[in-house]
Amino acid sequence: MALKIRLARAGAKKRPHYHIVVADARSPRDGSFIARLGAYTPQLAKDAENRVRLDVEKAKEWIAKGAQPTDRVTRFLENAGVIAKTSRANAKKGEPGKKSVERAKARAEKTAALEAAKEEAAS
């Protein structure tokens, strides 16, 4: 059985609250789970101590048993010191799109043309 450590949504509409759970990978997001490891409340401030509550010992046990954490839970575990931090680089995400590059190029050409016209008028 493939186990995942993941988030299960709880809370009211527009007021999310998540449980950090160990579940079978095939079960639905809010379906049955095997164990509850903690909670995550994204509405709290990023520096609030109750934003992420996690039972570190249980998490270590489940990882030793072969449970694979999802990306978001991996970040929580890295911050708690359970897993070694890994470097992430998504270089494409930070790059501007095609149209933005074209607009910037056109703006630069227009500025260069204006500068050249000013220099000719001054001389």
Boundaries of domain holding 47: 3-80
109 part of a folded domain: yes
pTM for the structure as a whole:
0.69
Say what the pLDDT of residue 91 is: 72
- DSSP, collapsed to helix, strand or coil, labels residue 77 as helix
Instruction: Report the distance separating Cα 108 and Cα 113, nearest Å.
Output: 9
Count of domains forming the chain: 2
27 pLDDT tier (thresholds 50, 70, 90): confident
- In tens, the pLDDT along 42-92 reads 999 989 989 999 999 999 999 999 999 999 999 999 999 888 888 877 777
Q: What is the pLDDT of residue 40?
A: 95
Contacts of 11 by beta carbon, 8 Å cutoff, 6+ apart: 17, 18
Are residue 22 and residue 56 in the same domain, yes or no?
A: yes
